Amino acid sequence: MTGAGYLHRLDPALAGLVRAEDDLRHPCPPGGQMRDSLFWQVSIAEERICLQTYFFATDDGNAGANICLWGEGIEPAVVDFHSGSIPDDCDFSVISLGGLSVRQDIAAQRSTLSYAGARLSFDFSFSALHEAFSYHANADGLPAWMAANRIEQSGILQGWIEIDGRRLSLDGRIGHRDHSWGLREWAMPQHWKWLAAYTPDGSITMNGWIWIAGGERGVAGYVARDGKVSPITAIRDHAEYDAEMMQQSARMSIDHGAAQPLELELDTFSAIRFPSSRRNPVTITEAGCAATLDGIAGSGQFETHWPTPYLDYLRQRKQAGQG
């Protein structure tokens, strides 16, 4: 969807924080470094599966991708990692790496992704339901340790996923995507929660981010409903975890300038955890979720970030029955 065809609209002043060319590769600042990352996801609660595709590239051409599908009956989960390089003239209009192909039509706010792996393949398009939203539109802004800028966007999908010979249609499904650029200090945050959720018809979509770093707390994201995209101003949240500190559920009351907050419930149907590394001693856990948004059933994804030593401490306490 483009222009007047958007289902929801962002205030023009806030839409102006994102340029069309921001969906392309960002140049390296003089004497500095640059890293772009692009991400697409779709969660389907009734099928109990979640798919995410993540691609990154640095200014020197180093590139990588992870393509993950997890959920009920998918054993083991698909976690395909690819690394390689992209040429200097790759501006992200067309990306090809390790069986993943991405084409972006920035004028139409549309991207097309295809992948052919050992167990997983897909071919689908993502068409935006509203203008791209910058975290600089939020009152807490975007911490410099996270990115120079980060944009988030809900969209409607057309296409299919095939896993272990089983094909699922994505036609009319709602998904989410983001693009951030600038170097990230993975060790800076003490914790974060990132989430996306949506109703099946896209009448309500949202993205939220709660971060704690340096003893400070902030929130970012938007709620899109009733034809309007509104920045989140506050999130009151409570999450439950199992003995391994895998997120099981969350209850959130989200202020976004409306008379009543958005009441969001997330219940995990399946989760995966990425291994920590010596270079980045943090642990990322991704949960595919059934969601309700103001009582309307939908789907979502709920990510947590923890410093690995602290996560290990919390797991030990849980397993010792200390809560």
Q: What is the pLDDT of residues 266-277, one digit of tens each?
A: 999 999 999 898
Residue 184 pLDDT > 80, yes or no?
A: yes
Across residues 64-83, what is the average pLDDT? 97
- DSSP for 137-193, please give it: GSTT---TTT-SEEEEEEEEEEEEEEETTEEEE-TT-EEEEEEEES---TTSEEEEE
Contacts of 90 (CB under 8 A, 6+ apart): 25, 57
Cα–Cα distance for residue pair 123/127, rounded to 1 Å: 14
**CA 173-178-182 angle, 5° bins:** 170
CA atoms within 13 A on the CB side of 132: 24
- Of the chain, the percentage scoring pLDDT greater than 90 comes to 94
Residue 224 has pLDDT above 90, yes or no: yes
| DSSP assignment of 283-299 | EEEEEEEEEEETTEEEE
Radius of gyration of the chain (CA): 19
Residue 244, pLDDT > 90, answer yes
For position 278, what pLDDT does the model report?
86
Outline where the chain has alpha helix (H).
Answer: 12-15, 308-319
Tell me: pLDDT of 105 over 90.
yes
pLDDT digits (tens, 9 = 90+) for 292-319: 999 999 999 999 999 999 999 999 999 9
The answer to whether 55 and 64 have CB atoms below 8 angstroms apart is yes
pLDDT of residue 217 exceeding 70: yes
What separation in angstroms does the CA of 82 have from each of 66, 212, 275?
6, 31, 15
Residue 189 confidence (pLDDT) above 70:
yes
Contact 284, 192 (CB under 8 A): no
Which of 114, 130, 132 shows the shortest CA–CA distance to 122? 114
Residue 231 clears pLDDT 90, i.e. is over it: yes
Average pLDDT over residues 253-263: 97
pLDDT at 322: 87
What pLDDT score does 280 carry? Answer: 87
Q: What is the mean pLDDT of residues 21-45?
A: 96
DSSP-derived 3-state class of residue 82: strand
pLDDT of 2 higher than 80: no
Question: 65: closest CA among 132, 127, 143, 117?
Answer: 117
**pTM confidence score:** 0.96
pLDDT given at position 3: 46
End-to-end CA distance of the chain: 47
Which pLDDT belongs to residue 210?
Answer: 98
Domain 9-19+33-319 has CATH 2.40.370.10: yes
Instruction: Find tokens 């856990």 and name the residue.
Output: 285
Q: Are 209 and 217 in contact (CB under 8 A)?
A: no
Judge whether residue 180 has pLDDT over 50.
yes
pLDDT of residue 4: 55
Judging by beta carbons within 10 Å of its beta carbon (0-12, 13-18, 19+), is residue 118 exposed, middle or buried?
Answer: exposed
Q: What is the mean pLDDT of residues 214-220?
A: 97
Question: Does the structure show a pLDDT above 50 at 194?
Answer: yes
The tokens of 143 are what?
């911490």
Average pLDDT, the chain: 96
